[in-house]
Structure 1
C-alpha cells in the first residue's frame, strides 16, 4: 500500500501559555508548559454498501454514509496515533470530516469499531467490521462545510483507533472527502499539553584553545544510483507487464495528419516513446497497414499495436453474430497470418454504449454486442489468429453506466483478455466532468454504480485494465494552463492506488466531436505537467 504523506502524524501549531513565555535560558527560570495540536490523517478509509456487498471502494475519493432506498452505506476510518512523548497528556480529541456533497442529513453518528485489522483495499459489506457503541452524534446544518465529532472519551494517547460513520436518515446521504481526495481529508486532531522543560543548570564556559588539526584526505566513495524502477519490467502472456504500466497514445484524431506522423510528434512533445500505438479501422479494411507495421519494426522505438475494429460496419451486431460477416472476418484472418505475427491488442467496436438500441429486434442491443464480440473473437481464433489480445473498451459515461442494459455488454471472460475504458476529464474548475484522475476512473452519480474502476476490479478481478483512451480538456471561457497541469499532477499518485491498471493510452486531438482541445501542449503549463507524467520510470516496460 502506498503511504500517503497527508496521513503522517504532525504538530499543527504550538501555543505557548503561562507568564514564562518569551524568557531566555539565561534567566534560570523553567519554561512554561505548552499546548500543541497534533494531527493524524486516516491510515485507511473506505465505505461499504449493503446493496453492493462485493464492491470495494478503497480507491474512491469520497466516503458515503446513510440510507438510499434499501441500500445502507457505512464509512470506516482508521487512525494511527504515534507516541506523543513523555509526560504529554491529551486534553481533547476530535475527528473532522469535510462535506463533499451539496447537503447533509440531519443527524450523523460516529461509532467505535473494535476490529482494527480491516484494510481499505479489501473492505466490503461482506467483511466490514462490527459496529460498537456510538461515540458522538452531530446534527449539522444541511450545507455545513464539515462535521466534527468529539472522541475525547476514546482517544487518550498513542494507538490505533477505528470508527464508523452512519446515518439513519432515509434517502439522504452524507458524502465526505476521503484520504484520496485532493483536499479536506479526514483528520483526528489531538490537543495535547506538553510538560515544561527543566531550567538549564548554570554553566561557566571553560577557556578553549583550538587544537591544531590536519584534515584527513578524503576520497569520495563511488556511488551507484539506486534504480527507480525494476530493470526487468517486460510484457508477459497477453501483453500484461510483469511490473510497471504500458504507456501509449492515439494521436492526430479527427485530423488529416497521418496517424504515424502524429504519433511521432506526440512522442517528441511528451519525451517518451508510446509503447502502445492505438489506431482505428472498420468494415473490410485490412490491417495493420504497412505504415503501422513499420512503426512496430523501429528498433530505436519499440512499439506494439492496439487495433480498433468495427467489424459490424454497414450492418448490425446481431447479423455479425449470426455469421453474415464471416467472410469479412476470415479475410482479415488470412491477411493477419500472412503479414503480422507479433502479439497485438484487438479492440472490437470501442465505446459500444453510443450505438446500443435497446429495442427488441433492433440488432443493436447490449446482448447483440456481446454476441458479436464473442463470435468475432472465436472466429478469428478458429481461423488461426493466435496473436490477438482482445480488449473490450467501455465508454465511461454516467448515463450509460446507469442503464438497465449496461451489464449485458460484457461478452465473457473466455473471450476478453483486458477490460478497457475510454474516459475524459474537464479541467475547468467546477465544470461538468471536472475532477482528478480518481474521478476520471471512478466517477458516478448513482448509488447503484460504484464507479468504473471499482466495478471492474470487483466484477473482473483477474483481468488487467487498459485505459484505452484518456484525455483532459479545459472548457473555461479563457483557458488557464494551470487547470490541465493541476489535473495531470494527480495522475501519478492516484495511479499508484490503482494497481490493476496495466495500460495507459492518451488520445490527443485539437478538436474532438464536441470541439474539445485534448492536446497535451495547448499551453506551456499543460505540456510541462504532462511531461512529468511521461518521465515517470513506471512506464519503462520492455517489449
Structure 2
C-alpha cells in the first residue's frame, strides 16, 4: 500500500534496467548513417524496439493493456497511469563505444502534458501480457525529464547515463500534471513504435553490419510489416523458368468497370515514401520514374477528421499524361472505438467527409480502404468495443452511411494483414463485414529475401503462407474459396532483406517469381507496392536499394498485363 501511494505522485512512464547479457537480442543498425574518414572512428545509430511495453491504471487495478496499440502515462482525475517499456540491446560490436542513448516515444493523440519523466525500473521480469496495477514493478530514480510542446510529434528522453551497452533496460514514464495524460503509440501500433536509439562510435577497422534484423521477444505485427516468429514456415524463393509466358492483352487494352475491376490484366500501383518526410506525391513520381511505369493506383493514408482527397491527391489524378486513381485509406474510428462508430457516435465525421467528397471529387471513382490491418487493433474481450465483430459493424455502418449520404464513387476495400498469428485465431473470420459492403478483398503482405530467414519465400509464399493449414489454408486460398466473386487487391506488398550484409541478388530472386506466379492467381486484380527506406522495424523495402533489385523490379513493371486503362 505504501508503494501505491508513492506511485500516485510519480510522473508519466517508467524504465527498468538490468544488464543480463543472456537476455540480449540482436538489433539492427537503423540504416546506419555512418560518418568519419579513412583511419578514423565511424559513428552510427543502433535502434532497438521495445520487446515489452504496456501501462497500468490505478483505477482499474486488474486490467491488462498489453495488447493495446496505445501507451498512456499521467493522471486523469483519481486515475494514475504509468507506461512501462523494456528494451533488450545487443552488443554493438567489438571496440564500440556508446556515445549517447535516447528513448523516443511517438504521440498517438491528444495534447501532451508539459512535463514528463522517465524513471529507472530495477525489475526486468515483468511482461506486457501480465502487467497490471496490482503487480507493476516499483519505480526507481528519475533518469530524464522532458518538457514537450502539447502537439509535439515525439518525446525524447536522454538515457545516456544508464545505457552504456548490451543489456536489458526497463523504464517507466510518468507525469504529475493533472487531467492531461499522455498517449503514445505502443509496439503494437502500425507506425511510431517506441525505440531506444544508441549513437555508437566504432574503431575504423571495425565495419558495422549493413543491417541486422531484431529478434523480438514478442511478435510485432505491423501494417503492415509484421515481425516474423520462429514458428513460421520458411520457404526458399524459386526463380522461374524464363520461358513462362505472360497473359496476352487485347489489342485495345484492358479497361475497368464501375467497381474499377479490370476486364483483363492487373492494376499497378504504389504507396511511395512511407515513414519519411517526403511529400507522397513527390515520392510517387520518383518511384514511377525509377520503375518505368505510372502507378495507376496512388495509395495514401488518412485518419479521423482529416478531409480527403487533398488538393495534391486530386491533382495527381487529374494528369492526363499519367492517368491514376486513388486508394484512400481511412481510419474513421481514430481516437474512439469501432463499436462507437457502429453505434453512430461518429456520424458527424462520416457526414462531413461525405459532403467534402461530393463537393471536391464529384463522381470520379476511387478505392477506399477502411482501417487497414484491423487484426493488430482487435481486443477480443467482449464489451471492449474493439472486437472483430465491432470492426465488421464499424465497416458496415460507415459504408452504408456514406452511400446514404450520396457518395457513389467510392469502391470499398477490406485489407487484412496476412500474419499467421492473427489468421489462426478463432475470431479472425468475424472481421469480414459482408459481401454487400465489400467490393474488393485486400491484403497487406511482405517477404524477407534473406536466404533461410523467417518469412522468406517467393511470391506464392507471400500470398499463401500458413503455419497451421488445418486452421488457415493461406490467404489467397481463403479469399478465393470464401469469396470467389470478389476481386483481390494486394493493397500493400514489399520485399526486404534481413541479411547481415545485403546481397542484391536476394531481393532480385524474389522479384523474379512475381510475374509467373501472379499468372496463376487470376483473382488478383490489383498490385500495390509499399516503398520505404525504413519501416517501423527497420526494414528497407525500397525496390531500388541495390542495382540488381531495381533491374528485377523494372522487369515486373514493364509487363504488358499492367496496361490497364482507367
TM-score range, shorter-chain basis?
0.5 to 0.7
User: What does residue 289 of structure 2 align with?
Assistant: 268
Please say if residues 229 and 538 of structure 1, whose CA atoms lie closer than 8 Å, have aligned partners that are also in contact.
Answer: no
Which whole-Å deviations, capped at 9, do the CAs of 1:161-181 have from their partners, x for residues lacking one?
A: xxxxxxxxxxxxxx9x9xx98
Alignment of 1:333 onto 2:389: no
Query: Which of 375, 389, 410 is the equivalent residue of 1:388?
Result: 410
Q: CA deviation at 1:229?
A: 4.9
Please say if residues 229 and 537 of structure 1, whose CA atoms lie closer than 8 Å, have aligned partners that are also in contact.
Answer: no
Task: Supply the distance in 2 between the matched residues of 1:514 and 1:273 (Cα, whole angstroms).
Answer: 28
Q: CA deviation at 1:527?
A: 0.2
Query: Which of 302, 309, 317 is the equivalent residue of 1:288?
Result: 309
Task: Supply the distance in 2 between the matched residues of 1:477 and 1:383 (Cα, whole angstroms).
Answer: 53
Aligned length: 327
User: What does residue 491 of structure 1 align with?
Assistant: 514
Query: Which of 231, 238, 244 is the equivalent residue of 1:182?
Result: 238
Task: Supply the distance in 2 between the matched residues of 1:232 and 1:389 (Cα, whole angstroms).
Answer: 22
Task: Supply the distance in 2 between the matched residues of 1:273 and 1:183 (Cα, whole angstroms).
Answer: 26
Query: Which of 477, 481, 488 is the equivalent residue of 1:458?
Result: 481
User: What does residue 548 of structure 2 align with?
Assistant: 525
Alignment of 1:237 onto 2:258: yes
Which whole-Å deviations, capped at 9, do the CAs of 1:447-498 have from their partners, x for residues lacking one?
A: 2211000000000000000000000000000000000000000000000000
Task: Supply the distance in 2 between the matched residues of 1:283 and 1:235 (Cα, whole angstroms).
Answer: 30
Q: CA deviation at 1:231?
A: 2.5
Please say if residues 370 and 408 of structure 1, whose CA atoms lie closer than 8 Å, have aligned partners that are also in contact.
Answer: yes
Which whole-Å deviations, capped at 9, do the CAs of 1:403-428 have from their partners, x for residues lacking one?
A: 00000000000000000000000000
Alignment of 1:323 onto 2:344: yes
Query: Which of 255, 258, 276 is the equivalent residue of 2:276?
Result: 255
User: What does residue 425 of structure 1 align with?
Assistant: 447
Alignment of 1:435 onto 2:457: yes
Task: Supply the distance in 2 between the matched residues of 1:469 and 1:354 (Cα, whole angstroms).
Answer: 16
User: What does residue 535 of structure 1 align with?
Assistant: 558
The structure showing larger relative contact order (alpha-carbon pairs under 8 Å, at least 6 residues apart) is: 2
User: What does residue 375 of structure 2 align with?
Assistant: 353
Q: 1:40-189 to 2 correspondence within 5 Å?
A: 182=238
Report the 3-state secondary structure (helix = DSSP H, G, I; strand = E; otherwise coil) of the residue aligned with 2:565: coil
Compute the TM-score of the two structures, normalised by the length of structure 2.
Answer: 0.56
Query: Which of 298, 310, 326 is the equivalent residue of 1:277?
Result: 298
Task: Supply the distance in 1 between the matched residues of 2:460 and 2:421 (Cα, whole angstroms).
Answer: 19
User: What does residue 469 of structure 1 align with?
Assistant: 492
Which whole-Å deviations, capped at 9, do the CAs of 1:227-256 have from their partners, x for residues lacking one?
A: 865433011120000000000000000000
User: What does residue 119 of structure 1 align with?
Assistant: none
Please say if residues 262 and 525 of structure 2, whose CA atoms lie closer than 8 Å, have aligned partners that are also in contact.
Answer: yes
User: What does residue 29 of structure 2 align with?
Assistant: none
Please say if residues 425 and 435 of structure 1, whose CA atoms lie closer than 8 Å, have aligned partners that are also in contact.
Answer: yes
User: What does residue 162 of structure 2 align with?
Assistant: none
Task: Supply the distance in 1 between the matched residues of 2:479 and 2:258 (Cα, whole angstroms).
Answer: 20
Please say if residues 440 and 487 of structure 2, whose CA atoms lie closer than 8 Å, have aligned partners that are also in contact.
Answer: yes
Task: Supply the distance in 1 between the matched residues of 2:425 and 2:498 (Cα, whole angstroms).
Answer: 27
* Closer/same/farther in 2, CA of residues 532 and 181 from structure 1, 3 Å limit: closer
Report the 3-state secondary structure (helix = DSSP H, G, I; strand = E; otherwise coil) of the residue aligned with 1:237: coil
Compute the RMSD of aligned alpha carbons: 2.0
* Closer/same/farther in 2, CA of residues 376 and 228 from structure 1, 3 Å limit: closer
Task: Supply the distance in 1 between the matched residues of 2:381 and 2:280 (Cα, whole angstroms).
Answer: 37
Please say if residues 368 and 413 of structure 2, whose CA atoms lie closer than 8 Å, have aligned partners that are also in contact.
Answer: yes
Q: CA deviation at 1:301?
A: 0.2
* Closer/same/farther in 2, CA of residues 414 and 519 from structure 1, 3 Å limit: same
Q: 1:370-385 to 2 correspondence within 5 Å?
A: 370-385=392-407
User: What does residue 533 of structure 2 align with?
Assistant: 510
When Rg is computed on C-alpha atoms for both structures, the one with the higher figure is 1
Please say if residues 239 and 512 of structure 2, whose CA atoms lie closer than 8 Å, have aligned partners that are also in contact.
Answer: no
Report the 3-state secondary structure (helix = DSSP H, G, I; strand = E; otherwise coil) of the residue aligned with 1:470: strand
Compute the TM-score of the two structures, normalised by the length of structure 1.
Answer: 0.59
Which whole-Å deviations, capped at 9, do the CAs of 1:516-543 have from their partners, x for residues lacking one?
A: 0000110000000000000000000001
Q: CA deviation at 1:263?
A: 0.2
Gaps in structure 1 of 5+ consecutive residues: 1-174, 186-225
Alignment of 1:305 onto 2:323: no
